[in-house]
A and B are shown apart, each in its own frame.
Chain A
Amino acid sequence: MTATANDASTFEAPGLDWRRQIRFSAIGALSCAFIALAGMPVGLDRRSIVYPVLSLGYLSLLWVPFVLASLAGSQVVLEGMGERERDTRDLAAGALVGLGSALGLVGLMILVKNFNLRDPLVNWSPQLLELLSFNRSTTLGMLLWVVLGTTLGLLGGAMHVVPAMVRAKVLTVVLSVLLVSVLQTFLTDLLEGFRLEVFTDFIYYKRGGLEILGALLVAVLAIAIPLLVGGRIKGLRARVQKMPPDERSRTNLVLLGVGAALLLILPFFLGKITNELLANVGLFVLLALGLNIVVGLAGILDLGYVAFFAVGGYTTAVLTSPNSPGFSPELPWPVALIAVVVLTGLVGLFIGAPVIRMRGDYLAIVTLGFGEIIRLLFLSDWLSGWFGGAQGITNIPGVDVGIGTVKGTDPRSVFLLVLIFCGIAIYVSWRLEHSRLGRAWMAIREDEDVAEAMGVNTTSTKLMAFVVGAVLASFSGAIFSAKVGSIFPSSFIMLVSIIILVVVIVGGMGNIAGVIVGAVVLIGVLGGPKQPGLLQELGQFKLLIYGALLVWMMLKRPEGLVPNVRRSRELHQEEFLQDAWLKGEIDEDDEEDPS
C-alpha cells in the first residue's frame, strides 16, 4: 500500500511493478520452505480434502503460489486514479511468483537430500522428502513442483485478468468445496439426524474428505444454486428494504424469532460430538461477547480476561461441589449462579479500580498480571484449603432443571443451556450498545479527554465496562464448571485470554454479529485452547495459525471480518480524510491533522 501511495501525486495508473513481483516470489519461497519445515505437509497429510487427490497437507503448500500471485497482482486504487489495463504481462507476473514459491520448495528438497539437520529441526526428515517428491524420485518431484507452482501462480495472476463474474464463480466453487469438506463431521451428523445419510455417504469418503464425484457435485451445486434462487433472494431483500420502517423491523423480528427457534431445535438432530463442539463454541461466544464490551465498545485492552472466567468457574465449583475442600454449602446451581454474578462483579470492580486510571498499554500488561496472579493463587498451596491447589475441585454436580440434569455427559443439554445464556448475553450487549452507557463507552474509545470534557464520568463508565464484561465471563465459567464436572488451574492459563482476544478481533471489534461469527469460525473450525475443532488434525499448528491470523488481521483488516461501521471509520480515519481531500471535499485551509 505504501508503495502505491507514494505514486498518488502523479494521478496516473502505474505500470506493472516487477520488483514487487520478485519480492512476492521471495516471500512465497520462504513461506513454502517454512511451512514444509514446520511439518505441516507431513502432519496434516492424514486428512483428505478431496480423496485421493488432495490432502490438507498438500493444501498447506499449494495455497501459497495461488494466493501470493493474486496478492502480488492486486493494487490499491486510490481516489482519482485510473486502474491499470490488465494484459498478458499479469499472467507472466503471476507465473513468476508461483515459480518463485515452487523454487523455495525445490531448494529445500535439495538441502534435505544432501544434508542432515534433523538435530535442531525436528521435521528435517526423509518422510518430508518423500512427501514432497510425491512418493516418486526426487527429480520428478522437483519438476512436478515447478509445474504445479507455475500453473497455480498463473491461475492466481489470471484472477485479475478474467472478468469479475468468472472470478467470483471460481472463488465460490473453490471455497464451497473446501467448506463442505471441512464441515464433514457437522454435515454428516446433521443429515443423519434427518435420516438423509444417503447423501453424505455419497459425497464423503469414510475416513475424511470428499470423494472426487462428491467434489464435482458440490462444485456443480455451488454454481447452480445461486443461478436458481439468487434472483429470488435478491428480490425478497429489496422488498424488505422498501417496507416502511416499523413493518421492516417487525419482519426482522419474525426472522430473528424463526432463526432462534431453529437454533433451539437444532441440538435434537445432532449427535454427541457435534453438540459438544457447538457447546464449546457457545462458551466462547459468551466469553467473546463479554470481552467485546470491554475491548470493542469501551476500548480497554484487558489481557487478563480469563481471570473472570476462572473466578466464575471456581465460585460455582466451591458452592456446588460436595468435594470442595474448605467451604462446601452444596447449593443448587441456579442459586450459586447469583452468588457467582455478585462475586465476579465485585472482582471486576476490585481489578478494575486500580487499573482504570493507567495509560492504555500499561493497563493491558497490569490486567495480564492480575490474570496470572489469580491463576497462581488458585494453584498455590496457601489457598489450597479452599480451592484444592493443583488437584483442583472435582465432582461438581450438573445443573438440575427439573426435567433432567445438564452435565458434560449429555452435551445436548449443555448446548441448550449455553444457547439460552448466549441469548441473554446478546440481548444485554445489544441493549447496552444503544443505551446512554454504550454511547459513553464509544465516546471514551474514540477520545477519552474529549469524552470527559463532554461530561462523561470516565472512571465509573470504564468500571461499568469491566463489571459487565466480568459478569458475562462468569456465566461462561459457571457453565464450564458444571459441564466439565471438575476444575483445575490449568484451564485458566493466559492462552485463553489471547484466544478470546483473537476471536473478538477477527470477528470484528464492537460488533455483536461479528464476534459470534468469529467464535463460530475460529473455535468451531480450528478449536479452542484445549477443545478440538472440526479440523482436529491441526493439533499443534492451531496456535501458530491463531498468531499469524492475529498479526495479519491487525495489518490488513483491523476492523475484523464483520466490521462495526463506526469502529472501522475510526481505524481508517487517515484514508477517509485522504480520499475526501482528493475528491475536494475538504478545503486545504481547514484540513484536520489526520493523527
Chain B
Amino acid sequence: MTTTHNAKLTSRVLWVDRFLTLIRITFIVVISVGLLAFIAQQINPQNPFAQWANPDATGLTAPQFKGLLVTGLAQGAMYGLIALGYSMVYGVLGFINFAHGEVFMVGAMSGMITSNKLADAGLWEDAFLLCLLFIVVTSILLSTATAVIMERVAYRPLRGAPRLIPLITSIGVSFFLQNLSVVLLGPGAKSYPTLPSWLSQKRSLVGFQIEGTKLLVLLTAAVSMAGLWFLVERTRTGKAMRAVAEDKEIAALMGIDVNRTIVKTFAVGGAMAGVAGILWGILFRSVIHTTGFLPGIKAFSAAVVGGIGNLGGAMAGGLSLGAAEATAPLVLLEPLGVDGVSQLRDAVAFAVLIFVLLVRPSGLFGERLSEDERA
C-alpha cells in the first residue's frame, strides 16, 4: 500500500493520516510523561512534577520493581513459547491460527489431569523432576495431536480460500475446543497439586530474588527455544519449513512434500504450546476452559511485536510484552493518576499491540514473510 500511495505526490493529506499522527503523538506523549513522572517520583516523591497528576504516588522500591520485572519476564517467556506457534503458522500459511491459544489450554488441562493422577499415586512430591518430565511429555503429545488434527480437519480443506475464511474457521475451532473442555471436563477452575517447597522458595541470583518456579519457567523456555532454533536452522525439516514459508509452489517443485511440512509446522507449534501450558500450570496452579483465550491473544501480540515470521523475534516480543504488561500499569499509569491500575494489565497488553502496529507494523525485529503473504 505504501509503495503505491505516496503521500507526497498527492497534494492533499487525508484527515485520517492526520488523525493517525495525532494518535501516535498522544501515545508517545503519554508514555514519556508517565515515565518522566515516574522518574521524578523515584528521585524525590515530594517534588511538584511527581505530585502533579497523582498526589498520593509513592513510587516503587528497587526490590518491588525487580519482583515485577521477574514476574513479567516469566509470563513473557510463556507468551513467547505460544507466540512461536502463531509466528510459524503465519509464516507458512499466512493466516492467524486463532485456535492456537486453545492448543495451549489443552496442554495445561492435560498437565492438570496427569499431575493430579501422579499426586494421587504419591509420586508428585517424591520424584518431582521425573513427574515433571512425564507431564511435559504427555502434554506435548496431546497438544501436538490437537494441532495436527485441527490442521487436517479444519484448515487443509481451506487452502487457497479467500484470506478471511480460514481465520473465521479458526475462531470456530477455538470456540469449539473451549466448550469441548467445558462439557468433557466440567466447568469451573481446576487446580494443580501443590509444588514441593524446595521449588517455590525464593533464591537470589545476580541481585534478583527469584522464586524457583519462575526460574524453572525461564529455564524451560530457554531450553525449548534452543531446541526449536536447532530444528529450524540446522535440520532438513527446518530447511523444508523455511522453503515452504518462502514459496509453497517452488518448494513443491524442489521435491518438498508441502502438506507434510505444514503438518510438521503445526506439530512443532503445538509442542511449544504444550510446554507453555505446563509452565502456566506451574506459575498459576489453576486452569479453566478460558485459560487459552487471553494468553493466546497476547502471544499473538507478542509475535506481531517481534515481527511475525521471525522466531527469535517472537520470543523477544513475548519477553518484552510480559515485562511491559507487568510494569507499565505501575510505572506509566500510576504516576498519571489512574486508579486501580492492576485491573488494566490486559488493556495494556492490547494497547502495546495497537501501538506497535501504528508505529512499526513490521514489528521491532522485522517480519520474515514471503511477498504474497505481505499483501
Instruction: Report which A residues bind B (CB closer than 8 A).
Output: 1-2, 37-40, 119-123, 299, 301, 303, 353-354, 356-362, 364-366, 368-370, 372-373, 376-377, 379-382, 384, 449, 452, 459-460, 463, 494, 498, 501-502, 505, 540-541, 543-544, 546-551, 554-555, 558, 570-571, 574, 595
Contact A353 B168 (CB under 8 A): no
Known A380-B339, A382-B338, A463-B16; 13 more pairs at CB < 8 Å: A39-B183, A119-B113, A119-B116, A303-B171, A353-B19, A354-B357, A354-B358, A358-B361, A362-B304, A369-B297, A449-B4, A544-B179, A571-B162
What CA separation (Å) do A201 and B69 show in the bound complex? 68
Q: Which of B296-318 contact A (CB under 8 A)?
A: 297, 300-301, 304
A561: shortest Cβ distance to chain B, in Å? Answer: 16
Binds A, one of B194-202, B276-284, B346-354: B346-354
Q: Within 8 Å of chain A (Cβ to Cβ): is B326? A: no
In the docked arrangement, what's the CA distance between A100 and B300, Å? 41
> Whole-angstrom distance between the alpha carbons of A459 and B178 in the complex?
36
User: What residues of B have a CB within 8 angstroms of the CB of A382 in the complex?
Assistant: 338-341, 343-344
| Interface of chain B residues 126 through 158 with chain A (CB within 8 A) | 154, 157-158
Q: In chain B, what residue has the closest Cβ to A27? A: B153
Which residue of the partner chain, among B16, B116, B185, contacts A353 with CB atoms under 8 Å? B16
Q: How many Å from the CB of B343 to the closest CB on chain A?
A: 5
Q: Smallest distance from the beta carbon of A399 to chain B beta carbons, Å?
A: 33
- CB within 8 Å for A543 and B179 given contacts A361-B167, A365-B297, A554-B158: yes
Of residues 14 to 69 in B, which have CB atoms within 8 Å of A's CB atoms? 14, 16, 19-20, 23
Of the listed residues B5, B164, B169, B180, the one surrounded by the most CB atoms of chain A closer than 10 A to its CB is B164
Instruction: Report the minimal beta-carbon distance from B196 to chain A, rounded to whole angstroms.
Output: 22
25 inter-chain pairs at a CB distance below 8 angstroms, sorted by A residue, are A1-B157, A120-B113, A123-B184, A299-B164, A353-B16, A354-B20, A357-B1, A362-B357, A369-B353, A369-B354, A372-B346, A380-B339, A381-B340, A501-B168, A541-B183, A544-B176, A547-B173, A547-B178, A547-B179, A548-B172, A548-B176, A549-B172, A555-B169, A571-B165, A595-B160
- B360 within 8 Å of A (CB atoms): no
Report yes or no: B353 in contact with A365, Cβ–Cβ below 8 A: yes
Interface SS, B side: helix
Residues of A within 8 A of B96 (CB): 361, 364-365
Query: Does the CB pair B350–A369 fall under 8 Å?
Result: yes
Q: Kindly identify which residue among B158, B164, B297 contacts A301, using a CB–CB cutoff of 8 Å.
A: B164
Say whether, besides A376-B343, A379-B343, A551 and B351 are in contact (CB < 8 Å). Answer: no
Give the chain A neighbours of B300 by CB distance below 8 A: 365
A574: chain B residues at CB < 8 Å are 160
Q: Report whether B347 and A554 are in contact in the complex, using a CB–CB cutoff of 8 Å.
A: no
When C-beta atoms are compared, the residue in chain B nearest to A299 turns out to be B164
Looking at chain A's contact residues, the main secondary structure is helix
Say yes or no for B260: interface residue by CB 8 A criterion: no
Tell me how far the C-beta of B161 lies from the nearest C-beta in chain A, rounded to whole angstroms.
7
- Taking a contact as CB atoms under 8 Å apart, the answer to whether A380 and B354 are in contact is no
The residues of B with any CB-CB pair to A shorter than 8 Å are 1, 4-5, 14, 16, 19-20, 23, 95-96, 113, 116-117, 154, 157-158, 160-169, 171-180, 182-187, 293, 297, 300-301, 304, 338-341, 343-344, 346-347, 350-351, 353-354, 357-358, 361, 375
Say how far A392's CB is from chain B's closest CB, in angstroms: 15
- Are B183 and A540 touching (Cβ within 8 A)? yes
| A420 CB, nearest partner CB in chain B, Å | 32
Contact of A544 with B183 in the complex, beta carbons under 8 Å: yes
In the complex, are the beta carbons of A544 and B180 less than 8 A apart? yes
Closest chain B residue to A594 by CB distance? B160
B171 surroundings in chain A (CB, below 8 A)? 303, 498, 501, 550
Per the bound structure, the CA–CA distance linking A102 and B173 in Å amounts to 26
Q: Which of B96, B177, B178, B183 has the most CB of A within 10 A?
A: B183
Query: Given A354-B354, A360-B163, A498-B175, A555 and B154 touching (CB < 8 A)?
Result: yes
| A547, B174: Cα distance in complex, Å | 8
Chain A residues lying within 8 Å of B184, measured Cβ to Cβ, are 37-38, 121-123
**A353-B20, A360-B164 given; A366·B340 CB < 8 A:** no
Q: How far is the CB of A572 from chain B (nearest CB, A)?
A: 10
Q: Which 3 A-B pairs have the closest CB atoms?
A: A381-B340, A550-B172, A547-B176
A459 near B164 (CB under 8 angstroms)?
A: no
Contact B168 A543 (CB under 8 A): no
Smallest beta-carbon distance A514→chain B, Å: 16
> Least Cβ distance of A359 to chain B in Å?
8
